[in-house]
Amino acid sequence: MTAVIEQRRVRRGNALPMKRKAALLRWGIIVGVLLLLEVLTRAGAISPAIFVPPSEIIWRLISIVPTPQFGRDAWVSLSTILISFVIGLVVGLALGVFLWKVPAAGRVLEPFIVTGYAMPTLLFYPVLLALLGLNAGPIILIAATMALVPIALTTMVALNAVKPILHKLAKSVNASNRQYYLKVLLPAATPLIFPGVRLGFIYAVIGTIAMEFILAARGIGFRVGFYYRELQTGNMWAYIMIVVVLSVIVNGLLTALERRIRRDML
Amino acid sequence: MSLDTKALAAPRVSARRARNQTVSDNLWRIAVLVGLFVLWWLLSLASDLVASPFAAFDALASTFADGSIYRPLGATVNAVLVGFAIAAVIGFPLGYVIGRSKFLGAVFDPIVAGAFAIPRVVFFPVLLQIFGVGVGAQAAMGALAAVFPIMVSTAAGVRAVSPLLPKLARSLSLTRVQTVTKIYVPAMAPSLMVGIRIGFSIALINVIIADFFAARAGLGLLALRAYGQLDLPLMYGVIVLLALIALAGNIALWALERRLAASRR
């Protein structure tokens, strides 16, 4: 036992400097690219219609973020993302449980669901626009559909991977249906489902921002297209940076959460 | 993306039962398609905003008959193929390098994962500035969208290769090129297929989003125009055509993936 701990400590001791060095190099590359862009744009090697100096983007951000217009856009985008994700999660989990309970349905429907990854659901945007009107409805529906697919697939795979002994255990202690799902299946499958949930959230972000970008009249994604059409490259890049930072933060939070959940499993 | 390959590991059944099952599964799949068609038809009866499937197929057939579909169809297919090819040429080698080296993996993994999470379509206006409105910008969009998923699944595939295989290569004193082509590529085939399938899908989706935003020709633009002119049958016809392209491409790649996975057992 102590030998194992000792070994782990040694391994960690070796791993840390490598990780720190990697992080250092990573940030070095990011800062280096930004500096290079700054120099190239200031020197005029890159047309200001394409890219504005990073320092100017930061100034624009500082002037944009406190405005009420930004507050409204951010609120619209974030609430749309969250609602889509929650719908995708609930429907995706239910669909995953169904596909697991009825294996034949899982087999038959799998190619269709896998195609869901590729199906440009946004094609139905004009249809949904006609049916639901120009509001958040069509965007929520499309983003929720995109989020649902990975959640349903991983739920099915995760439930199939639950150890048979757990089913027997539940039966032997006469667990009620509710107890069986909440106290046995949920804890056993969560670590395996979570990567799908993470992907689902990322897809909800991508779906929402992309749909706003094409046709909405509000939201962060809309502003990118709006400032492109207004030929305000600086503001356009500021909103692109907002999208990038938002996605990277979301991804980082979910990765940290996943690490915690999976550590519980080990 | 490893979950896709895991999902394919179906339990073994005797050959004949497996064949019977495949036949009945395929019949059920056709039944699902027919069911969707009937549902669509019922919806069209209930709502003016939904064109009937027959009218949609008629409108689609007439665009094929007078040849007006070929330019948008060609533009979209061209952009997807060129974009995917660029993404593959960049993504597979870079993913391989990141996957092979622990240090480079630690450096670039967070960047690639972060880029994967960004809705890459917001960069489309910049691509328009660089390439101008046209197939070039569309193809660049497809490439930008597909390159990160391809890198992620290639790197994951390299990491999943059994550590015994490189040792085998060394004991056979294979050259570097031989090690890659004879050892790594066959061992990674399933995850490479996942990368191809997902890269292809994402390229297609993004080219169509880009079509909606600004294009000279393309199926997305055609659908949007038909909607603008309230030519609903044509709009639904184009949607069906795109869905069929996505479904056919995906089922072909999915079947190939399954066959690869089965032949390895």
CA closest to A117 among chain B residues: B201
- Interface with chain A: mutation pick from B118, B128, B194, highest number of A CBs within 10 Å: B118
DSSP chain A: -HHHHHHHHHHHHHHHHHHHHHHHHHHHHHHHHHHHHHHHHHHTSS-TTT---HHHHHHHHHHHTTSHHHHHHHHHHHHHHHHHHHHHHHHHHHHHHHHHHSHHHHHHHHHHHHHHHHS-GGGGHHHHHHHH-SSHHHHHHHHHHHHHHHHHHHHHHHHHTS-HHHHHHHHHTT--HHHIIIIIIHHHHHHHHHHHHHHHHHHHHHHHHHHHHHH-SSSHHHHHHHHHHTT-HHHHHHHHHHHHHHHHHHHHHHHHHHHHHHHHH-
Helix B102-117 and helix B135-160: axis angle, to 10°?
140
Helix (H, G, I), strand (E, B) or coil at B132: coil
Asked whether the predicted pLDDT for residue A145 surpasses 80, the reply is yes
By the CB < 8 Å criterion, does A4 face chain B? no
Count other Cβ atoms within 10 Å, centred on residue B228: 10
Q: Which two tokens stand for residue A45?
A: 């090697």
Tell me the mean pLDDT in the region B60-81: 88
State the DSSP string of A160-223: HTS-HHHHHHHHHTT--HHHIIIIIIHHHHHHHHHHHHHHHHHHHHHHHHHHHHHH-SSSHHHH
The whole-chain average pLDDT of chain A stands at: 82
The pLDDT value given to residue A117 = 65
Rounded to an integer, the average pLDDT of B80-107 is 90
Largest CA distance in chain B: 71
pLDDT at B91: 92
Q: Is A191 on the interface with B (CB under 8 A)?
A: no
What is the residue-averaged pLDDT of chain B?
83
Higher local confidence (pLDDT), B226 or A127: B226
Tell whether A7 lies on the interface with B, counting CB pairs under 8 A.
no
Per DSSP, the three-state class of B105 is helix
| Chain A residues closer than 8 Å to B113 by CB | 251, 255
pLDDT in tens, A85-125: 999 999 999 999 898 888 888 888 877 777 766 666 777 77
**How far, in Å, are A180, A208, B199 from residue B138 at the CA level?**
50, 20, 15
pLDDT higher at A182 or B99? B99
Could you tell me the two tokens for A177? 């249906």
**Considering only A74-88, A114-128, A177-191, A207-221, which range has the smallest mean pLDDT?**
A114-128
Q: Give how far A176 is from chain B: nearest CA, Å.
A: 29
**Is the pLDDT confidence value at A223 over 80?**
yes
Confidence of residue A266 (pLDDT cuts 50, 70, 90): very low
Q: Which of A115, A125, A209 sits opposite B122 (nearest CB)?
A: A209
The string over A80-112, giving b where at least 16 C-beta atoms fall within 10 Å of a residue's C-beta and e elsewhere, is: bbebbbebbbebbbebbbebbeeeeebbbbbbb
pLDDT at A47 over 70: yes
d(CA A190, CA A211): 30
Q: What is the pLDDT of residue B10?
A: 44
Predicted local distance difference test score (pLDDT) of residue A129: 74
- Judge whether B98 and B105 are in contact, CB under 8 Å: yes
Query: What are the structure tokens assigned to A168, written together?
Result: 């027997």
Q: List the single residue in B117, B197, B209 with the smallest CB-CB distance to A210.
A: B209
Q: Confidence band (pLDDT; 50, 70, 90) for B15?
A: low
pLDDT given for residue B265 in this prediction: 53
Q: What is the pLDDT of residues B150-176, one digit of tens each?
A: 998 888 888 888 888 888 888 888 888
d(CA A173, CA B191): 41
Closest CA to A212 of B22, B121, B94: B121
Residue B199 predicted with pLDDT over 80: yes
Determine the average pLDDT of the residues in B164-193: 82
